[in-house]
């Protein structure tokens, strides 16, 4: 039955579906997944599925499709297919149309092709393949979610809070079809230092906010070095810190009264975001105690917890054996970025991350996904579901 089902998967359909999704802009920010959500719902409707659309905010819909429909029993297993609809902004310098879905050299090009409309298309094709056998022993819940690129609050986190329950999850982020069982978390934060403006010819009449920020950056650098000597996760390595943006001052002849940085702290299990935030607050507090003129604001922009799989041995085994049918098997790895798997895992759903496309190619100019990976992904998802729900 498995071989017969896999032969029914149409490789051209996978490619064309990926191209169709890429051609629909769903850029976040600002965030508007309405058009692509309507396309996905219509695609499923034409294949006699019932798609449920819920909005966490205006024009920020999430889609769930359940097969089979109806109420499941406590003895039946449930598998979650999860993928996000939003993509990051395009940027400049493209040689391909970012929303053209162009095919060249065995690749589909376009913003989101790898991250992760290719994975989303492969999940959709797998859902349709599973339905073609008429009946499975359990249930698959397909989710196309909003806001992953913005932190996931309006997407997977919203669905989890609505009462999602399942026995295993698959998130189709781009891993070059490697199985990942852990991912980093993130705390993105801003710090503002305040000073007092004065003429640069008499700098002692002012307070230089950039020099105050220099103290912060030096303290963060020392903190970063400490992280490199702290807990090393076997799949993800050490936690990290990066100061990504700095802005301050207006002219060389004015003592600056304000300086701003945006930075991020990457977490590895078992670290928690709350503890990392407390460490940052403690660092700023220490500077304040040493410098009576140190005035600052600290703001956390968004948080996503790190996670790693707990339990799910049988689901992981099904995924590993299914992948081995098409690719030489490699040991499970860590996913170095943050993603929605943490919302599933931290709600008690053992989850793996595996999808077509390379993470190193995500968010870049001329983003693409390899066509052969799309074809493998659809088959691996289908086969893994059959094995897990048999």
C-alpha closest to that of 281 among 292, 305, 297: 297
- The string of pLDDT tens digits covering residues 107-133 is 999 999 999 999 999 999 999 999 988
Q: 105, exposed or middle or buried, with CB in 10 Å at 0-12, 13-18, 19+?
A: exposed
Quote the pLDDT of residue 329.
74
Counting every residue written for the chain, the total comes to: 390
Q: Which helix (H) or strand (E) holds 353?
A: strand 351-353
Q: 292, exposed or middle or buried, with CB in 10 Å at 0-12, 13-18, 19+?
A: exposed
What percentage of the chain exceeds 70 in pLDDT? 98
- Classify domain 2-183+306-389 at the CATH superfamily level: Zn peptidases (3.40.630.10)
CA dihedral over 349, 351, 356, 360, signed as positive or negative: positive
Domain 185-304 has CATH 3.40.50.460: no
Would you please indicate which residues are annotated as catalytic (active-site) residues? Answer: 86, 148
- The string of pLDDT tens digits covering residues 134-163 is 778 899 999 999 999 999 999 999 999 999
SS3 label, residue 262: strand
Q: Which helix (H) or strand (E) holds 351?
A: strand 351-353
Kindly report the number of other CB atoms within 10 A of residue 149's CB atom: 22
Phi, psi of 70 (to 5 degrees): 95, -175
Quote the pLDDT of residue 73.
60
How confident is the chain (390 residues) per 10-residue block, as mean pLDDT? 83 98 97 96 97 95 92 80 98 97 98 98 97 88 97 95 95 98 96 98 98 98 95 95 97 98 97 97 98 98 94 96 88 94 95 98 97 97 94
Provide the strand spans (E) within 197-318.
240-248, 258-267, 295-304, 307-308
Q: Where are the domains of the chain?
A: 2-183+306-389, 185-304
CA dihedral over 90, 95, 100, 103, signed as positive or negative: negative
């Amino acid at each position: 039955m498995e071989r017969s089902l896999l032969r029914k998967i149409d490789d051209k359909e996978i490619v064309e579906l990926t191209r169709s999704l890429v051609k629909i802009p769903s850029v976040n920010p600002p965030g508007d997944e309405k058009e692509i959500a309507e396309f996905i719902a219509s695609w499923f409707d034409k294949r006699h599925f019932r798609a449920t659309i819920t909005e966490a905010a205006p024009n920020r819909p999430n889609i769930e499709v359940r097969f089979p429909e109806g109420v499941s029993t406590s003895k039946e297993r449930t598998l979650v297919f999860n993928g996000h609809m939003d993509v990051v902004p395009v940027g400049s310098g493209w040689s391909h149309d970012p929303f053209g879905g162009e095919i060249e050299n065995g690749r589909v090009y376009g913003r989101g092709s790898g991250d992760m409309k290719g994975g989303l298309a492969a999940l959709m094709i797998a859902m349709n393949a599973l339905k073609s056998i008429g009946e499975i022993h359990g249930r698959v819940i397909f989710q196309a979610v909003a806001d992953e690129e913005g932190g996931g609050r309006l997407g997977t986190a919203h669905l989890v809070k609505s009462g999602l329950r399942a026995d295993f999850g698959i998130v189709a982020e781009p891993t070059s079809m490697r199985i990942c069982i852990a991912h980093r978390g993130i705390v993105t934060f801003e710090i503002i230092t305040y000073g007092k403006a004065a003429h640069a010819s008499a700098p002692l009449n002012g307070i230089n906010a950039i020099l105050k920020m220099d103290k912060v950056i030096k303290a963060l650098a020392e903190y970063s070095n400490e992280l490199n000597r702290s807990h090393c996760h076997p799949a993800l390595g050490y936690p990290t810190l990066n100061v990504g943006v700095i802005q301050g001052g207006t002219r060389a002849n004015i003592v600056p009264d304000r300086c701003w940085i945006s930075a991020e702290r990457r977490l590895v299990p078992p670290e928690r975001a709350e503890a990392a935030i407390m460490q940052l607050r403690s660092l700023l507090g220490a500077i304040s105690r040493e410098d009576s003129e140190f005035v600052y604001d600290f703001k956390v922009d968004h948080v996503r917890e790190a996670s790693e799989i707990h339990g799910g041995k049988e689901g992981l085994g099904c995924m590993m054996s299914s992948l081995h049918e098409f690719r030489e098997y490699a040991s499970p790895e860590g996913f170095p970025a943050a993603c929605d798997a943490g919302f599933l895992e931290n709600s008690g759903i053992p989850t793996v991350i595996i999808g077509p496309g390379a993470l190193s190619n995500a968010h870049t100019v001329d983003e693409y996904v390899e066509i052969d990976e799309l074809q493998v992904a659809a088959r691996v998802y289908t086969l893994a579901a059959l094995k897990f729900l048999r």
